[in-house]
């Protein structure tokens, strides 16, 4: 069996552990177990499924230190940030456990005079999840929690650099008491996904979080096989500063938000759009912040800058920045990898980025701040919407009505008013345009892979 899945410490570039890719026979056996278990799991009372998910939430909290250390080795996340991810994942499982019965309640329909009608929500079967490396636990929780609560079963293909956390998540579901086959971790190749899983009639849909290219490829295969998809893809979210009484504080808030997970988040605010009357001071403040953010050993309490997820990711990030500068952008901070090996890169501040430059439309998946100057609300909205993506946005102003007015004109799946973008278990998450289709989290999450069955009962 070939080895595709491996743990490579991004701080050093050293391979820590390897896992063999599954054989075709193992993949087919996993599909069979998932489909077979669906019959049992879908008929398990909702309250019982919810109780098991509550136990999953508890185990995440109990094992937080261990889980954070695992992803530190896999993708470089500092232990404090890792603990935060584990806590959010625990909250997601608990949220859907607490709300499953309410979300699955029959929905009465108004209108029939000769009978009674309602919508009954039923699970559809075995689902495939394809998850990324940047939030190894959280991304899985967004997909697994609502669908397990609904009664679907799951095959989970994680990112090849996250095999250890992938195995631990399956272990947690088993420890919590879910039946064998309700959640199965598979070390599948892309070819096995396309050739074995998606064509199989027992598979009822696929959820992918990843790149545009991966999303397009999976959607094409799913479409050929008439399978439902949920896609959460890239983002180039605008962060619009209309006015502020404290420019330095605003710059600090944005910089700290942008540096979360070392800038490796789809909904990270990648474009700072600033009104001209505060632009110069803002740019000076954020450049100073970037120059102070030096790398430290990932895992240490208070670590300010972790490595990117891999040496390859760091090389691509630096290449994107250097190409953008060579095309005429102004580099105010950063732009290089740190000496000493590993995937550490300097935080970047770019200005004067214009159409035609690589950094204008491409997503910079790393610690890069791009600052734009505008002179009106209309110009801010036009620039914010001039992107192929449409995931999230944030608008700041001391005049709340002004911020809401501008926010309402942004083409995105999410808008935050006077608050940095973030993720909470009760807020629906998803985008428009090339940021994907479908919603995760909140009350909308259980409306994706579900049979909304009409029931009509005649009075005749």
Contact (CB, 8 A) for 149 and 191: no
Q: CA-to-CA distance for 179 and 34, rounded, in angstroms?
A: 10
Catalytic residue among 74, 170, 221, 232: 232
- Assess whether 266 carries a catalytic annotation: yes
Q: CA-to-CA distance for 309 and 138, rounded, in angstroms?
A: 16
- Assess whether 162 carries a catalytic annotation: no
Tell me how far apart the terminal alpha carbons of the chain are, to the nearest angstrom. Answer: 63
- Length of the chain equals 460
Q: Is 368 exposed, middle or buried (0-12, 13-18, 19+ CB in 10 A)?
A: buried
Contact (CB, 8 A) for 262 and 293: no
C-alpha distance from residue 263 to each of 60, 317, 366, 416 (Å)? 25, 11, 4, 18
Contact (CB, 8 A) for 187 and 22: yes
Q: CA-to-CA distance for 428 and 146, rounded, in angstroms?
A: 12
Cα-trace Rg, the chain: 23
DSSP H/E element including 269: strand 269-275
DSSP H/E element including 19: strand 14-20
Catalytic residue among 162, 266, 346, 421: 266
Q: Which residues pair with 229 in a beta bridge?
A: 206
Q: CA-to-CA distance for 51 and 328, rounded, in angstroms?
A: 57
Count CB atoms within 10 A of the CB of residue 301.
Answer: 8
Inter-axis angle of helices 377-385 and 400-407, nearest 10: 40
Q: DSSP strand E in 210-264: where?
A: 228-232, 237-241
C-alpha distance from residue 300 to each of 77, 78, 296, 309 (Å)? 10, 7, 8, 17
Contact (CB, 8 A) for 10 and 71: no
- Its sign, for the CA torsion 451, 203, 162, 318, is negative
CA 91 centroid distance within chain: 16
Q: CA-to-CA distance for 197 and 24, rounded, in angstroms?
A: 10
Taking Cα atoms as reference points, which of 155, 195, 170, 162 lies closest to residue 19?
162
Which residues are designated catalytic? 232, 266
């Amino acid at each position: 069996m070939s080895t595709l899945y491996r743990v490579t410490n991004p701080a050093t570039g050293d391979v820590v552990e390897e896992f063999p890719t599954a054989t075709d026979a193992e993949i087919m056996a996993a599909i069979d177990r998932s489909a077979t278990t669906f019959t049992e799991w879908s008929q398990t009372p909702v309250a019982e499924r919810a109780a098991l998910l509550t136990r999953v939430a508890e185990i995440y909290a109990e094992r937080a230190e261990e889980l954070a250390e695992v992803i530190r080795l896999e993708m470089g996340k500092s232990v404090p940030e890792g603990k935060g991810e584990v806590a959010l994942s625990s909250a997601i499982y608990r949220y859907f456990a607490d709300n499953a019965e309410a979300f699955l309640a029959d929905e009465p329909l108004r209108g029939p005079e000769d009978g009674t009608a309602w919508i009954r929500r039923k699970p559809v079967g075995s689902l495939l999840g394809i998850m990324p490396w940047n939030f190894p636990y959280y991304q899985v929780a967004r997909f697994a929690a609502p669908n397990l609560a609904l009664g679907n079963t799951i095959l989970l293909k994680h990112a090849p650099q996250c095999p250890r956390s992938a195995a631990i998540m399956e272990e947690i579901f088993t420890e919590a008491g879910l039946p064998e086959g309700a959640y199965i971790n598979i070390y599948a190749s892309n070819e096995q996904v396309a050739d074995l899983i998606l064509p199989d009639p027992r598979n009822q849909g696929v959820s992918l979080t990843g790149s545009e290219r991966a999303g397009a490829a999976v959607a094409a295969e799913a479409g050929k096989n008439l399978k439902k998809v949920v896609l959460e893809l890239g983002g180039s979210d605008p962060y619009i500063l209309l006015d502020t009484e404290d420019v330095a504080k605003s710059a600090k808030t944005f910089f700290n938000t942008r540096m979360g997970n070392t800038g490796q988040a789809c909904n990270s605010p990648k474009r700072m759009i600033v009104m001209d009357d505060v632009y110069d001071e803002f740019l000076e403040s954020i450049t100073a912040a970037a120059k102070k953010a030096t790398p430290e050993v990932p895992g240490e309490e208070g670590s300010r800058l972790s490595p990117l997820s891999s040496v390859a990711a760091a090389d691509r990030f630096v290449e994107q920045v250097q190409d953008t500068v060579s095309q005429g952008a102004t580099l105010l901070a950063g732009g290089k990898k740190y000496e000493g090996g590993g995937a550490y890169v300097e935080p970047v501040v770019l200005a004067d980025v214009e159409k035609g430059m690589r950094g204008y439309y491409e997503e910079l998946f790393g610690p890069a701040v791009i600052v734009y100057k505008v002179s009106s609300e209309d110009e801010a909205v036009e620039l914010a919407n001039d992107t192929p993506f449409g995931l999230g946005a944030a608008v700041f102003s001391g005049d709340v009505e002004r911020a809401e007015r501008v926010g309402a004109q942004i083409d995105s799946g999410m808008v935050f008013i006077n608050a940095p973008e973030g993720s909470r278990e009760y807020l629906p998450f998803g985008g428009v345009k090339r940021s994907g289709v479908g919603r995760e989290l909140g009350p909308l999450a259980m409306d994706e892979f579900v049979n909304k069955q009409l029931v009509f009962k005649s009075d005749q």
